Structures are given as C-alpha cells and as structure tokens.
Structure 1
Amino acid sequence: MKYIFSLLAAVMTVTFVYGTEADAAARSVFVNDGIAQFDEDPVLIRGTNYIELRGLCNALDYQIGWQQSSKTASCTGDGSMLTFSFNGDTYTYNGQRKRFDNPPRIINGRSMIGLREVSQILNHRVHWIQLTGDVFLMRPGITDGEKGQMIDALLERMTERRQFSGAAAVKKEGDVITADGYGYADRSRSIRNGTDTSFAIASVTKGMTGMAAMKLEEEGRIDLDDRLGDYLPDVEYAEEVTLRQLLTHTSGYPWEYPNGDKTIGTLVYEPGEGQRYSNIGYQLMGDVIAKVTGMSYGDYIEEHVFERADMLNSGFDINTVHPYRRAVGYRLDNGRFRTVNRDFAARGASGSLYASVEDLLKFDDAIRDGTIISDDAVERMLQRHAGTWGYGWQVYNPSSGRVSQLVGSTTGFRSFLKREDGQPYTVVLLSNMELGDQYLNTLGKTIEDIIR
C-alpha cells in the first residue's frame, strides 16, 4: 500500500541526513515501500518534528491503542509493543522502560510524538531528504523491490510538485528494481513520459564519444597520442594537441567557440599544462571519428554503438524524432511550463545525441558485457587519466568500488547516468524540464542512498 503523510515545508539543499532533525517540518514521509497519511499535519517544535502516532502505526500496519483514563497510548506489531502515558516522560518498549528525549504532546486532540525518536525506537532508520523536504523510514532487511517502490513513490510525489518531469531507471546487481516515466513528454498533446521516450542527453553524449574513440583505437585506426593535426591539419593549434588531451579536457581549448564561429583564438593554457572542461575538444574528436571512418559522427555512433547495444530509441539530433516518440524540452516560468528548443545537431560529439532510460540501461549492459569494446578497453576508458576524467566519463574510486558517471545539461533537458562496479548498480535519470545544474546529481545521490 501507499500511504501519505502530509507535512509542511520543503528544504532545498543536498541529500540524506541520518539521525538528525531537519530545520523545517518535512513534506512527506515514506514508510518502507510506500507513503503514509496523517489526520493531523506534523509540526516542528524546537527542532523536533512531531507526528501523529496513529498515522505512523497505521503506516506500519501496527495496532494502535488508547486508554483515556490514564492517557496512555500503545502501538503494537511484529511482536513488539510501545506504550507511554502523556502524564509522564517515559515509555516502555518490549518491557524496558526508558525516558524520552522529547516527551510526546497532545496537539488538537491528537497524540503526537517525535518522528526521529519513535522511528528509532521501532527500529526504523530515518533519512531526511533535504533536496525535497521529505523523510524516509526504512526497516532493516527491506527488499530491493520495496526500495524500488520507494523511489517510484518519491518521483511521483516530486512530479506532482513540479520538481521533476522525465523518466528514471535503477538497476542493482543485474535486476531492474524500478523503471518508469513521470509527467508529460509533450504537454500540448497530453503524451506522457515513458521508459522508451527519447530525451536529449546533452553531455552524456561524451560517454558515447569516448567509447567510439576506444573502439577505433582497438582497431588500430587511431592512437590517442596522435596529434590532432594528423587528422585535421587546418584546426588551430592542431599540431600541439593530442587526441588524448581532447578526451581528458587538457587540450587548452576553451569551453565553447568564443566568437560563435569555429575559430578558437587563444588557448586557455598550453596543451597538457592544465585542465578545463571543453565542448570544443569533444566536437573536434567527433570530427576525427568522421574523418577516420568516412561516416558522419551520428551515423558512426548509430551503427557501432546504438545498434550493437540494441538501443532502439537513441540517435543523433532529437529534433528529427517523431513527435509521439520524443520528449519536448520545458522551462518552468512563473509556474507555467514553457516550451524551449535549440539546434542540438550543432553540438556534435559533445552533446547532440538522444536516448531513453531503457536504452541507457542497455548501454550500461554493453559496457559490463564487452558488447562494443573489450574489457581491456573499458578499463582504459574508465581509468582516471587527468583529475577525475577518464575518456568521456568522470571516474571516482571509493572503497565500495569504482564509480563512473555522465551528466548533461542543455536547453530544456537534464541527464544523469551513474554506475558502480563494486555492488554493482546503475542509476539513470532523464528530465525534460530545466532544473538546477546539480539537481539530478543530488537526486541520483538520494536514490543511491536508498538502494544501498
């Protein structure tokens, strides 16, 4: 079942806070695999969120009890019992008597108790999701399927609040635990987002470009230490820049062409002597791919990446996709969704591709299975070569296992793909509304915390 706790205000910062109270009452409380409902809204009093005991017990499928003469409440389930009296500041749990940190209160005739404290008494972890102002209560041993339902419920609630529109897919240890669309792909046609809806993926494109470069290197058609001038001699500074530097953002080329044409002017730094994110570098890498293969960048990716990975809803330039199969980009302007668009094809190998969430899971499978490039090539692609950058991917090495991610942001769209090799898991988020640049990163981190 899905239950709903209606709570008060949102907190708009980062991800989970464990075991501490938020600085405002939360908006919704998710209990195990659903959302809970209260008759009395929770309230924040001196830093403590008080919630209605009856609503919590109902959400847990526990029995609620009340003795008017002694003002004693009880909550019983799963072989455990919590009792307390409003005439004192102690409680009894499974026969053991202890003192409350924050004694319960009666508010508008309802029994109210501290959210964090009662949840921990009942052996549930408390997670404050500061991105949205919501709270998760999770019992020990919750299944991955139930975690998937929690993620789905969270995204549904965010969609209702206009905090998200798009699609999501989460895979853990080879099993998809949730995958769905949220909100509308095209509001004018009332077409809803789905797992097969195509979204512009912006800089997630760079991950495909990195894979294409590794494939050509494996085939002996390029060497990453070759000079750009070996392929594109007319490009400014081409004799000073290597293909490897294009892929690792160490070429010295600016972020974008400064004058709107394809002239570069001055390098930001000498090639190999610094690092700065450069879309120009990836666009030039796409030109190299086209020169070497005799195919356009888009055609090469279509044939050698998308077709081999069975990515049926992916391609070059979302503006060429049938309107009923693609998402329209939106900007939320004074509470109304406004359509926005751009020339995505002009982004080339830095950001011109589109994909669906189910296709990006297939892309992840192709990486793990060696479908497109060998395991050795994958290792080189996902190795840190300069700062946090591999070839197209950002790479991190926590103790739990290597993490690689792609993040994209463009007019009307946001994209996020994160994968961990240790556990393993994959999180894909695609949005057709403009959100803060770090919004999907933060939402992705929230989802990671749920599934671990």
Structure 2
Amino acid sequence: MKRTILLLFVSLIINSLKAQTDSERLNEVMQAATDANIFNGVALVARHDSILLFKGYGWRDYEQKIPHDTNSVFQIGSVTKTFTATVILWLQEQHQLNIQDKLSKYFPKYRYADKITIKNLLTHTSGIYNFTDAHYLADLAEKPFRQTDFWNYIADKPLGFPPDSMHSYSNSNYMILGYIIEKVSGKPYEQMVREVIFDKAGMTHSGFDYAHLSSPYKSVGYDALNETTHQRARISDSSATYAAGAIYTTAGDLYRWNLALYGNKIVSQASLEEAFTPYKGTYGYGWYIEQPPGMKFVAHNGGIWGFQAHFKRILQDHGCIILLRNEMLGFEDYALSLHRIIQHDPNYYIPRKSISIPADSLSAYVGEYQLAGKPAFKASVTVREGNLYIAWTNFAPEQVFAEKKDWFFFKSYNSQIEYTRNEKGGISGFVAHNGKQEFPYEKIR
C-alpha cells in the first residue's frame, strides 16, 4: 500500500511539473506574440479539461491604458455559427424540425426555397448569395437590419451553384438559420441561444448587442493597433450580424461552452458526431473539421470589425485553444504553436517581429549552401514573388522571414538563419540556429 501511494505521489508530482512546463511554454509563445505586436487580447489553453494558460495580454483600451485581464469581453464574429448550428440540432432533438426539411417549409416565397434544405444551410452547400458584400459592409452593417431587409437584399441574386453540389461559405446561410429558429420556436433567436446554451453552460458574460453593452470589461476594437498606430474600429449592429456573427463573450465563457459540449449538456453525442462530420469539404454543422491520422479537431474562427477569434477543440484530449483579440491580424502561426505544445510536439514556432526587405536586396542571399564537414547536407536558397525560401536536402522549400539584416526565421518551427559575410561584405554562408544547437553552412555557389 505504501509503495502504491508513493508511486501515485511521484506520478502526481511529475504530471504537475510537466503541466507547469507546458504552461510556461504557452505563455512564452503568447508573450512573444504580444511583444512582436501580433497579439493583443486574451488566451486560454486547456488539455484534459485542465486549464494550462488563461491570461490577458496587451490593452483592453489603448487610449485609457486599461490592460487586458481574463474578464475582458470581445465580439467573436463567426464563432457565433457554432451556437446557431447547435440550437438547430437541439430543435431537431425536440422534434420541432428536421435538417432535411426544405427551406420552402418555412420561407416559401424565396424563389429557390424548394431546392435547399436546412442541412444545406448548416454546411454552406446551398449556393445562396453571401449578403456580406462590399455594399453591405460600407453602408448597412452599422444600421438595424430587419429580416425583410435581408430577403429583399438576396431576392434577385442567383444561386452561385446547384444546391448540395459543393461547399462555399456564405453568411446568408446562418442568417436564415436564425430566422428558422425564430419561426419554429416562436421566440427571438437571442432568447433561444440564452435558454438552450448560455444558461445551461453558465455563460453569464455573453450576449449580442455589443454596440450598447455597458461593462467595464468591454474591449475597444481596433482596425490597427501597434507601436505607432491605434485606429478604433466601427461597431456593427447586432441585427446586421445576427445568427451569423453577433455574439460577444469572454474566453472564460467560451471555455464553459466547450465544457458543456464535452459533457453533452446541450445536445446528444449522436448530434455532435453528426455536426463534427465534414460534408462536401472540411465543414460540418457550424464547425471546420481537421482529421489527421488518429485525431480530430473541430474549430471556427471569427472576424468582425476590430475583433478576431480563434476557437479550437482537440476532441481526443478534451483540449481547447481560445484566442480572443481586439485588433485585426492573423494568428494561425502561433495558434499552431499552442496546439503543438499541448500535443507535446517540440517543433513549435516562437513569434518574432518580421520586417520588410526589398526583393532586390534578397538576391544577395540566393545560392547553394553545404553543411560544414557534411557535404551530403545541402540547402538551396531562392527568391519567389519577393519572398526568401530555403529548401533543405529532400525537403520542399519553406519561406523564411526577415527579423533584421542577415537574420531570418521560420514560422513552422523554432529555428533561425543567421547569414555570415566575408571581408568584402559578400555572403559567405549561414548558421542555422535550432534551439541551443548551431549548424554552420558554407556557400558553395
């Protein structure tokens, strides 16, 4: 018995140290992204239903110098679609609709309604025109947008393709799903999301009308936010984004939504498995699906004026990655690093700030290189469309990004290239830095 208890105690210590190490690595990545001005927001990362990182970075309100903390509230744009799709599945489980129903059952006046099913709307296979076009963004998104406005907007637009023939993302699909939810339930869409999901999941800091939200934790959205520029973004009217993108929330509330899904608190496991099955592409019912060998990830990103959201769930590990930000930059590179860390993959990228180098200056680095003392290991450096690429022996070319003169880095893993020069100032080789290891390459032509 004593030996069993001792082994258990040692195991707990090892697991604790391992989690702590992962937490430090996750924070290192996010702090580096913040320092490089490519992240400003809140990050939450969990594995096995245990939170490894939950922290705010940068500014909730730059002008007032209010920093982010874990209470910050953000708009999440199209991550709203994960909620809309789940309410549809809940209504199906209550036998109030069937996803094979034709749209004509609910909106017979729409001229293509008899060709389109609810499933086509869920999976973006309807062919319906995407109403969030340039005119909508320029003139309509900040104003109240009624259901009649929507139907009038798409009434004369032809289908982009025959329904159920292919996938093409369209916000119109999820606007219509919201209208179906209202017609079937007899309640406003927002009330249904609260009753079916928010209340059951314990999401007490979530809602819809961000323009009129009064909260000390409300984040200011920025079109640009860096060392020299801070430009506030417009705020869309929640009726104009509606079931396709109106929800605001916190990282903590999104994590509660994640846990509610794992606990089957909203819909059955059978409904979730159907939702997490790709249909004519990589999209299911409100989720993008990735299926590498032996694994399955479901995710959705969201982008709306001044805000971006990344919500990814690693099903087999009960993992979750949430990145909420109040500025408009991409985050796929360091989001992948977070994923690799919680999957115990050491090949992850630590963000660095890149600079622009003229294409004619990049030509100096072009050539063939050889690892010192090991002629079988070579590297070919080329320029493509103004970007520098390195191809190692038997590997495809990878782009490298300039951090400063003669210093480049990869975004697919944590490695840097430091070019060396001869007495005349010409490139003589480079040193590949991989963690604490250094590999000197000589230029051979």
TM-score (norm 2): 0.67
1:160 partnered with 2:53:
no
AA of the residue aligned to 1:191: I
Alpha-carbon contact 1:248-1:389 (below 8 Å) kept: yes
Which among 295, 308, 331 is matched to residue 187 of structure 2? Answer: 295
Give the corresponding residue for 2:278. 384
Query: Which runs of structure 2 are paired with 1:325-336 in the superposition (5 Å)?
Result: 325-332=217-224, 335-336=228-229
- Residues 282-291 or 192-201, more deviating: 192-201
Give the deviation of 1:311 after TM superposition.
0.8
Question: 1:197 and 1:308 mapped to 2: Cα distance?
Answer: 22
Once the two structures are superposed, residues 96-117 of structure 1 have per-residue CA deviations (whole angstroms, 9 ceiling, x without a partner) of xxxxxxxxxxxxxxxxxxxxxx
Which among 407, 430, 446 is matched to residue 301 of structure 2? Answer: 407
Give the corresponding residue for 1:338. 231
Give the deviation of 1:344 after TM superposition.
4.1
Once the two structures are superposed, residues 204-240 of structure 1 have per-residue CA deviations (whole angstroms, 9 ceiling, x without a partner) of 0011111111101100011001011211223341222
Structure having greater relative contact order (Cα 8 Å, sep ≥ 6): 2
Secondary structure of 2:46's aligned partner = strand
Question: 2:308 and 2:86 mapped to 1: Cα distance?
Answer: 21
Give the deviation of 1:296 after TM superposition.
1.4
Give the deviation of 1:186 after TM superposition.
1.6
Question: 2:303 and 2:40 mapped to 1: Cα distance?
Answer: 14
Which among 319, 328, 332 is matched to residue 441 of structure 1? Answer: 332
Give the corresponding residue for 2:67. 192
Alpha-carbon contact 1:404-1:418 (below 8 Å) kept: yes
Q: Across the two proteins, how many residue pairs are aligned to each other? A: 310
| Bigger share in helix | 2
1:283 partnered with 2:175:
yes
1:450 partnered with 2:325:
no
Once the two structures are superposed, residues 108-163 of structure 1 have per-residue CA deviations (whole angstroms, 9 ceiling, x without a partner) of xxxxxxxxxxxxxxxxxxxxxxxxxxxxxxxxx97122211222233223223322
Which among 263, 267, 271 is matched to residue 159 of structure 2? Answer: 267
Which among 57, 72, 84 is matched to residue 182 of structure 1? Answer: 57
AA of the residue aligned to 2:222: Y
Give the corresponding residue for 1:362. 256
Query: Which runs of structure 2 are paired with 1:33-432 in the superposition (5 Å)?
Result: 143-256=18-131, 260=136, 262=150, 263-264=153-154, 265-332=157-224, 335-345=228-238, 346-432=240-326
Alpha-carbon contact 1:250-1:276 (below 8 Å) kept: yes
Secondary structure of 2:313's aligned partner = strand
Give the corresponding residue for 1:52. none
Shift of the 326–288 alpha-carbon distance from structure 1 to 2, 3 Å rule, reads same
Question: 1:257 and 1:162 mapped to 2: Cα distance?
Answer: 29
Give the deviation of 1:423 after TM superposition.
2.4
The answer for unaligned runs of 5 or more in structure 1 is 1-140
Q: Percent identity?
A: 28
Question: 2:189 and 2:111 mapped to 1: Cα distance?
Answer: 21
Question: 2:111 and 2:334 mapped to 1: Cα distance?
Answer: 40
AA of the residue aligned to 1:319: A
Question: 1:241 and 1:429 mapped to 2: Cα distance?
Answer: 34
Once the two structures are superposed, residues 333-367 of structure 1 have per-residue CA deviations (whole angstroms, 9 ceiling, x without a partner) of 68211111232411111111111111111111011
Shift of the 257–146 alpha-carbon distance from structure 1 to 2, 3 Å rule, reads closer
Alpha-carbon contact 2:75-2:246 (below 8 Å) kept: yes
Question: 1:257 and 1:160 mapped to 2: Cα distance?
Answer: 34
Question: 1:236 and 1:350 mapped to 2: Cα distance?
Answer: 22
Once the two structures are superposed, residues 274-294 of structure 1 have per-residue CA deviations (whole angstroms, 9 ceiling, x without a partner) of 221010011001110111111
Question: 2:117 and 2:293 mapped to 1: Cα distance?
Answer: 33
Alpha-carbon contact 2:262-2:318 (below 8 Å) kept: no
Question: 1:306 and 1:276 mapped to 2: Cα distance?
Answer: 29
Q: CA RMSD in A?
A: 1.9
Give the deviation of 1:190 after TM superposition.
2.7
Question: 1:447 and 1:342 mapped to 2: Cα distance?
Answer: 30
